[in-house]
Chains A and B, each alone.
Chain A
């Protein structure tokens, strides 16, 4: 079932492998090692080989510097791969611990029988698991029970929106001064919503606390309140019954400290009416139950209360997230993140890590690394690295460090820092250096122009950076033809004409102009213009053709199809994606969708063209929030060819991986 299994050292020596005569997998494994292990592209220690359709699982042993790799065909579904890797790792280490420690790799490892036995055991265990008939889970065991709060949160979004018009009706019953009509600004609405929640929450809290009031009937009342509230809820929204769990959840969250405790009433004057209501519980029973919408919004925004109580001026910043809720509705993590960011800006990266213990001669476990890695992840996100990318980088660093033994003078901090620096450097270092001038020489020999295409979303600086590249190429005595394939934006052609005129003034050479613009006005088909431009360049013996395209959003289907057509019809030598350094999480989306669109609309080509390189623009506008560079290179695995650091012709550089890494780790 498994196609191959290799045990090798990190230095490259194969200690043991099966099948032992196989040389056809070497290329696959080398590729996997390059991409997955080194760069950290492998998600969760898995990798799918593109060409040979193998699934590859690997495991790093950092104590003895070993790598365990196995692979099987994509069509098979082997669920025990990870467990098997762990099992083999344990057995191999136990058997050959001494040899591995001394580095004696020349001996023969007679591991075959142990391997076979282990494989059989794992396979049998899997079959056993499948055979056990699984009873359907009861409600108590199911995940839904645990998720009730979250589900309420999600549905509660809609409830909150629905409830806004209902508020004036409900508010009449209480004498809260902060009641406002719906015509007020959303901030105020949220203010009152929060205050309502606070009040009603307080009521609930106080009522929930048996020890405070010492009255049994209180709890009954609360239960029935909840029941009534829930009935109303159920009428409005298709929620499952929350009643038995709402209590426990509230209490749970209080225990965690997310909700205000019983005595932390705060100084808001609006609380007093609420208190008066509590004093007359029986009389106010109906009033309490008449506010079901308050209570269910209560159950939503546990985090908001804490924030409001602490800092009033912070309200606007808290209101913003309310308006644009994250998709998971996961406000709790968001609150955590915001405090993390704030403290990150104040404390600095390494002071946070210094809180972690310093061990002496200890083997690192995932648990030890967790706090340090968490801090690092937040730090990366604060530096404008996309969230998914930061997550994956932290995972790969954890893999690299797990199981490593610390030396006597090393600390955890320095290890994490070193591992981070290595990973970031590896991401920023290209797999293959792109040398445009060298490739132009090749193209000259073949008597054809070297074609570069610039693509990207709107307003990133394609035309400006195209002019900079023209300046550089002309400075190296190359004749450049600019193809104006942006037939959409007003003034695009004129802009390029101005650049050409400027540059020709700078570089006058004999009688022939060094730089020319090939344009056919607006509204025409870009792919056709590009094809004509390339032919023209070939006739007039231009060395380089730069194709300027119109900016387009990555989810705009027809425009992406048009771009794909331009690229596949003309087959340029270099496709450069222009992205600005200011972009954050969008970077991943842009680059992925551009790549995907190019592959999807490839037509009949067997080898679809994808992005070959990245131009990172507006680098001077970000100070040290250089995370966009990481996000883009990590997603595409292609190098950053140029960096734009200003708006003049000379402001074109290549990326300095050391400087960027230091800026990210600072």
Chain B
């Protein structure tokens, strides 16, 4: 009797509960999963978006140690010449371009300064090269004779980089420190020197011992394949330009402002202050940057 009553009650009671809960329950689960997935997806997208925005939009400063990259970086992004030492980490900043035309008055250019130290250069360069729209390769004009091998090594890697060649990257070779000595190497002689070095580098690199378990790299040769000597004119995939100048230039005095010893003089200026016309400043670099970003 009881059992039958209970069964009857169950009959009355159960359908309501079971049906509705059966209807709601899986649906809630699905909804909650969707919400969670959506949140994660949004977070991921937001995280990657900030990185994607920089892709292919930055100005990269490269060069061997002591070339003057970090000083150039401070001039471009902060407008002052800060005293620098060897960089251990990548510097990121942005510079504003004044445009005379009316449609886009101010343009922001992201600048990335990659340390020149050989140990960290590889890792930092590889992680930043994807975001490069243009490269300034800084060379110390006073020591180029001594450092030609290292400089050409680095330059060879840049010239061979597949992604750069595909996007026809503009490359500016900036012969820095023209203000230091009087008998510096001129742009022309540096160009010649680098061409000779790169000619030899092509031969030695291809004949060197293979890397153990290295990726099979296709022989991306620089310059014209059949020709023996290398010339910058042969490089069609990248737009190469040579300029000279000085990151320090006429702003030598600015060092003293930031260190509170007012009675001590900083770097004593050796030559004339009228550096504007001698090319020992950054005007040409600014022109080149404007040319690329404001087309």
Contacts and interface: CB of A to CB of B under 8 A. Distances in A.
B203 interface: yes
Interface stretch (A318-326, A423-431, A510-518): A423-431
B160 to A, nearest CB: 15
B88 A656 contact: no
Interface in A93-113: 105-112
Contacts of B117: 34, 38
Contacts of B86: 12, 29-30, 33-34
Range of interface residues on B (Cβ < 8 Å)? 35 or more
A549 B118 CA distance: 32
A435 B207 contact: no
B88 A10 contact: yes
B251 to A, nearest CB: 13
Contacts of A435: 149, 153, 204, 208
Interface stretch (A13-21, A47-55, A389-397, A520-528): A13-21
B212 interface: yes
Contacts of B259: 16-17, 20, 108
Q: How large is the interface on A (under 10, 10 to 19, 20 to 34, 35 or more residues)?
A: 35 or more
A617 interface: no
Nearest to B44: A409
A105 B258 CA distance: 10
Given A11-B113, A106-B82, A438 B261 contact: no
A643 B213 CA distance: 11
Nearest to A427: B119
Nearest to A652: B209
B214 to A, nearest CB: 5
B11 to A, nearest CB: 52
Contact of B89 (A10, A16, A429, A438): A10
Interface string A345-383: 000000000000000000000000000000000000000
Nearest to B262: A20
B205 to A, nearest CB: 8
B120 interface: yes
A488 interface: no
A108 B260 contact: yes
A19 B80 CA distance: 20
Given A33-B85, A38-B119, A430-B118, A12 B267 contact: no
A472 interface: yes
B165 interface: no
Interface centre among B74, B259, B266 (most CB of A within 10 A): B259
Contacts of A426: 119-120
B212 A38 contact: no
Contacts of A108: 257-260
Interface string B68-95: 0010001000101011111111110000
B90 to A, nearest CB: 7
B61 to A, nearest CB: 12
Contacts of A425: 119, 122-123
Interface string B200-224: 1101100111111110000000000
Contact of B83 (A11, A17, A34, A476): A17
A657 B176 CA distance: 32
Contacts of A422: 123
A74 interface: no
A649 interface: no
Contacts of A653: 209-212
Nearest to A13: B82
B92 to A, nearest CB: 8
Interface string B122-164: 1100000000000000000000000001100100000000000
Contact of B118 (A429, A619, A645): A429
A259 to B, nearest CB: 49
B213 A656 contact: yes
A11 B88 contact: yes
A55 to B, nearest CB: 18
A631 interface: no
Nearest to A39: B119
A595 B231 CA distance: 43
B249 interface: no
B185 to A, nearest CB: 20
A12 B70 contact: yes
A643 B117 CA distance: 24
Contacts of A2: none
A431 B118 CA distance: 6
A21 B266 CA distance: 5
A11 B118 CA distance: 15
Given A12-B70, A13-B70, A38-B120, A26 B209 contact: no
B118 A433 contact: yes
Contacts of A642: 209
Given A12-B115, A108-B258, A656-B211, 7 more contacts: A11-B113, A16-B259, A17-B83, A39-B119, A106-B258, A425-B122, A619-B212
14 contacts: A11-B90, A12-B70, A20-B261, A30-B65, A33-B85, A105-B82, A106-B78, A108-B260, A110-B260, A429-B122, A472-B209, A645-B212, A659-B212, A659-B213
Q: Which 5 A-B pairs rank lowest in CB-CB distance, beginning with the nearest?
A: A12-B87, A653-B212, A11-B91, A10-B89, A437-B204
